[in-house]
Amino acid sequence: MLPYLKQNHTSTIINMSSASSDYGVPELASYSASKFAVKGLTEALELELAQYGVRLCEVLPPFIATKMLNTQQKTAKVMTKLGRHLTAEEVITVIEKQVNQPRTHRTVGSLYSMLHCLSSVSPPVINRLFMKVLSR
């Protein structure tokens, strides 16, 4: 598929990441790790494929009210504190924005957008403290 995308010169690849790619989330370590990997892959391939006109971007939703999350036997404390107020439809709207106006990282929801901005400018020790408080 990648050879076709390179020949097209106007392709966009949209990866699904998560708010968990900004912070290591206690009780969701493997999930966070996989989303950190998606973010790193997106950033690396964005630079690598730019010469072919291929855009790479990602969507970073926080916890979404879905059947999968609602039927979990155990819920991470951070999920309980931050809540799951967004819907799959809100994520779809953001994906549509990425199709039309791609940005490397696009968040879903105003609360997480604010947290995402703060995480990029605050010292790592503050980010860790924030996650510690949310996971108690």
Residue 115: what pLDDT?
A: 80
Residues 13-60 have pLDDT tens digits of: 999 999 888 888 888 889 899 999 999 999 999 999 999 999 999 999
Fold of 2-134: Rossmann fold (3.40.50)
Is 115 or 85 the better-scoring residue by pLDDT? 115
Say which residue the tokens 């924005």 belong to. Answer: 97
Contact between residue 60 and residue 116 where contact means Cβ atoms under 8 Å apart: yes
- Give residue limits of the domains in the chain: 2-134
pTM for this predicted structure: 0.78
- Residue 23: active-site member: no
How far, in Å, are 3, 23, 62, 121, 131 from residue 28 at the CA level? 35, 11, 13, 24, 12
Instruction: Give me the catalytic one of 4, 23, 31, 112.
Output: 31
